[in-house]
Structure 1
Amino acid sequence: MDAHYGRYRIVEELGKGAMGVVYKAHDPQIDRMIALKVLRPDRVTSDAFVARFLKEARAIGRLSHPHIVTIYDAGEDQGTIYIAMEYLEGVPLNEVIRNDRPDAARSIDLARRIALTLDYAHRQGIVHRDIKPSNILITAEGQVKLTDFGIARIEEAAAGQETQAGEILGTPLYMSPEQVMGQSVDGRSDLFSLGVILYEMVVGRRPFTGDSIAAIFHAITRGTPEAPEQVDPFLPKSLSGLILKSLAKDPAERFQTGEQMAAALAEALAALKAPAGKTTTPRKRASSRRLVPAFGLLLVVLLVAGGYWAMGRQPNSSAVDKTASAPPGNAAPGNTATPLQAAELSLLKVSSEPPGADIYVNEGHKGRTPMDLALPQGKYELRLDLEGYLEWQAQVQVDAEGETPLNITLWPKQ
């Protein structure tokens, strides 16, 4: 591969995400390998966004902590933006959990170090917004490294300028209730996500699950996870209480700082090792019970209106539903069965990442993404279904004429 961004030569692709691609690249200026994150060109929405992106990237680059991957540089090239970061070899925590789940003592120690790292960043005014196991790297030396630190914050700058219909930042399984509800977040949201990770490491399964995005969101905002001590009777009640405190729905009831959480974790670790001064020995864990899918269905209400534009990939095909009828309660008298005039319709341009998802409007199958739907103004039940991915469902309010892009990121089943 002979491609460049700025002075950096691309060596190989390391991974893809909803916002861009991460490459292993070579920096010839100082002859070292780096990780280069390149934003998808369709995410670059305006000169103002580019300026803000670069400003925030450089601000985050001033973070200096042994457990945070260093950002070296940020720039603009080939119609997009890139960030040059420290290149590390290691294993993401999600693979560690899947292949060789750490015992309680190791889990507590990992969470304690992450909490202290988050405390440092929060005191610098930086909130991660996407704490999850795949963003935590365990190096060959056993060190913890938080990756993509602040990248979610940079990317959210776009959402602050223009509403991304159908998109919610963060990874559903690890999101805080305030993220799910689209509220402003602070460092306590990161600590909630860390609590989800700690629960997963200690218990062996996640506290909030479901068969669809809506079910997961319902569990996060309404569900009460089973106490870890009830799943594994070997776990101390104090540790179980600590984990549940970190998962409180109300941010005011959680740990208020990473330092507070780290101190509580240090006490829990000491208590775990305390009996007769013995070190912990491997023991059989209680078998994990499958979490019953969350009851009910939470529908995410999205405002789809003129002037609110999604920044996702634009559809590349068109299949307009010319005979769409108004939803119940919204049809004009005497006009429920006749084709609507084009002037009365709003064009909803539905796309998904990945593409090819089946589109259902009010439970009627319309086709597959990407697709253009001509709909009368009103409220609709919109559902996307793609094999291997969580079902996406929402209430969509269409209340303006013209074209409205709706880009939806589908999450793989885990």
Structure 2
Amino acid sequence: MAFASINSSGAPIAAIEEAFATEPSLKKRVYDAIGTTPQHTPLFEDIAKYTSSLLARTANTTLPSRPPADGPAVKKRKLQNGESGETAQASVDLKDANAPVQFYVKDVSFATPQRKKLTLEITAGHQYLRARNQATKEIEFGVSMDKIKHALCLPVPEKTQKQFNFCIIPEYADGITPPPEGTTTSEAMVFTIADGPAKAAFSGDGQQINQAPGETADVLLCKILNENMRRCNVVRPDDKQFVSAMPEAHRKGEKAYHVKAFRGSKEGYLFLLSTGILFAFKKPLLFFSFDTIDSVSYTSVLQRTFNLNVMARPTGGSEEDNQEFEFSMIDQADFSGIDTYIKRHGLQDASLADARRAKVYNVNKPTGDEQAATEAADGDESELQKAQRELEDQEEEDEEDYDPGSDDSEGSGSSSDEDDDDDEEEEEAHGSDEDMEGTEELGEAATAAE
């Protein structure tokens, strides 16, 4: 029959394959009908093409999404599509389980926004990156491809088996810039891809993806994401940007691109990348792109550790909107590499900013003409020269205020062989008996006085 000839020839009908890619049972029924009544083949092709056009058209509509016919209503989740007031239920293609799929990977371990294994999908027409529940077949969450602002592929630290974490950061989900009032935003997505061939990666028609020789799953996914994203490309660590002074402890001989740090009591990892600084992998994810970093400074610099402070300004915000993020307990071995990275990218070092300097107390503060002269001199002095001058002035004042006669300790009033006649007369007037061991003249004068 016609259906048998279609399968044996290996040339299925393209329109039907595209329209019913995610519904294999329905697709089989269509082919069965064609096999029974081959004269209706053009009719089924037209129906399939019309179905595909409807699915593509609804990607930009604002109709409420319909729940699956054989399952419960889809749980509402806040998702950002970039337009004011748009919500998850307003995007039919995102939540429509029947929407055509271009690419998918099974059994992907997600850490954010949910911690579970899901199927990662990219819908046809470069529309959405989303996650499907493998048991219920419902769409759990997703993000519009044109709203992905940063995409990162990073080696997972401290794992015996090599793995890669993909961090998908939509607009307003970097932890720095809040969404405008009246809009909602999707959370950042973090999922793990194991090193090695992509055995669970398939095209929309269910065919396993053909990989180039030696191409690993992470490389394949980076390539596919780059083909579909509109605003950015996937960023990976680069030796020219930063490499930790301490190699990966769990995989000997492998370079480490992360720095262990704490934000409060929460432990995480800092990655210094070509587009900014990431603190991951626990919620909330923080990504400081260069356009949001106002300054960087070091504090609590000790023998073994130091703190890194990042002053960030939301995109389009003012100085009043600045927030400071402190990352503590960073190993001193990485200080040089971090400092080189900061200088290379021209990030302002605010370690010596006025707010961080030690307070100067007005002890022995000069007055009158001295104060005016000091202020005039300050304008031509550097901070280091000013501090040195103030220290010298204070030492001179201490010397001038010193009164040797005020000391009541023993022998404080004794004279030496160099005492002059004025000293001798003063001693005679006070009847001093303490300096009778002077020169011969002093001895004779003492005898005459008796």
Larger radius of gyration, structure 1 or 2? Answer: 2
TM-score (norm 2): 0.25
Which of 1 and 2 has higher RCO (CA within 8 Å, sep 6+)? Answer: 1
